[in-house]
Amino acid sequence: MPFDPHSLVYDAKGLIPAIAQDHATGEVLMLAWMNAEAVARTLASGRVTYWSRSRAAFWEKGATSGHRQRLVEMRLDCDRDCLLLLVEQLGPACHTGRRSCFFTAIRDGAEAEISTPEG
Amino acid sequence: MPFDPHSLVYDAKGLIPAIAQDHATGEVLMLAWMNAEAVARTLASGRVTYWSRSRAAFWEKGATSGHRQRLVEMRLDCDRDCLLLLVEQLGPACHTGRRSCFFTAIRDGAEAEISTPEG
């Protein structure tokens, strides 16, 4: 059946979490949020577009930084309340310059930085 | 520095999203939610424990189904408002019997089931 972005389950603010994963390496890059219009724009354009909660505006990933995400495939979970985006990531996904936002690990009860900003 | 679960950024309901990823294959298995106590229990026991929003109770993954998740490593993102759990998953992660909850893809504008329940 045709996919309708409004058939997803959004929270009280009309948002759904979206996990971005590198389609080639499997690395989890980041998690951000989408509303129904962001889902529709992402599917229509192939350019991953989130909803920025802090700026209350659409956020086409990389539109200013150049660190774009090209959508390879969108998937949804069994409850229809979370998205998994397989993406082709240009440059770092994280605003700190690291490939992934998940660069802090808990090891032996302490925080450990496991990656550094890309050159 | 020692890691304090209360140093994470929780939403208005005291919850943080946690992505579970198979540590060996990189497959993203599911997303669920934790509160600070669930984070602490998971780190202390090595058994991934979520907060069930529907049951409003702690949910030690697999305690009844046997489909447990053993924590290999917990990571947090740059905003401290999302967790990535590298896990060893026993059996399927999804309540439908599939390995991953993300078994529906959007292809050519329609929903496509891309995996089946495990035998």
Q: Which class in CATH covers the domain with range A12-91?
A: alpha beta
When pLDDT is cut at 50, 70 and 90, the band that residue B118 belongs to is confident
pLDDT value of residue B110: 97
3-state secondary structure of B70: strand
Distance between CA atoms of residues A119 and B74, nearest Å: 26
pLDDT tens-digit series, residues A70-104: 999 999 999 999 999 999 999 999 999 999 999 99
Is residue B113 predicted with pLDDT exceeding 90?
yes
Is residue A2 predicted with pLDDT exceeding 90?
no
Q: Which of A77, A105, A111 sits opposite B1 (nearest CB)?
A: A111
Average pLDDT of the residues in A1-26: 96
User: Under an 8 A CB cutoff, do B101 and A79 touch?
Assistant: yes
For chain B, give every domain's residue range: 12-91
Q: A77 — contact with chain B (CB < 8 Å)?
A: yes
Distance between CA atoms of residues B68 and A48, nearest Å: 33
pLDDT tens-digit series, residues B45-64: 999 999 999 999 999 999 99
Mean of pLDDT over chain B: 97
The residue of chain A nearest to residue B43, with distances taken between CA atoms, is A109
Distance between CA atoms of residues B87 and B42, nearest Å: 11
- Model pTM score: 0.97
User: Under an 8 A CB cutoff, do B110 and A19 touch?
Assistant: no
pLDDT tens-digit series, residues A27-56: 999 999 999 999 999 999 999 999 999 999
Give counts: helices (H), strands (E), chain B: 1, 8
Q: B66 — contact with chain A (CB < 8 Å)?
A: no
Q: A56 — contact with chain B (CB < 8 Å)?
A: no
User: Under an 8 A CB cutoff, do B75 and A106 touch?
Assistant: yes
3-state secondary structure of B107: strand
Is residue A1 predicted with pLDDT exceeding 80?
no
Q: Which chain A residues contact residue B95 at CB under 8 A?
A: 78
Is residue A23 predicted with pLDDT exceeding 80?
yes
pLDDT value of residue A118: 87
pLDDT value of residue B67: 95
pLDDT tens-digit series, residues B75-99: 999 999 999 999 999 999 999 999 9
When pLDDT is cut at 50, 70 and 90, the band that residue B2 belongs to is confident
CA distance A106 to chain B (A): 6
Q: Which chain B residues contact residue A78 at CB under 8 A?
A: 94-96, 98, 101, 103-104
When pLDDT is cut at 50, 70 and 90, the band that residue B119 belongs to is confident
HSE-CB of A104 using CA atoms within 13 angstroms: 17
Which value does ipTM take for this structure? 0.97
- 14-53 of A, contacting B, C-beta below 8 A: 17, 19, 21, 25-28, 30-31, 43
Q: Which chain B residues contact residue A101 at CB under 8 A?
A: 77-79, 82
| A16 and A37 Cβ atoms separated by less than 8 Å | no
Distance between CA atoms of residues B27 and A25, nearest Å: 10
CA distance B60 to chain A (A): 19
Distance between CA atoms of residues B119 and A115, nearest Å: 39
Average pLDDT of the residues in A13-29: 98
Separation in Å, CA B8 to CA A15, B4, B19, B46, B97: 21, 8, 15, 19, 32
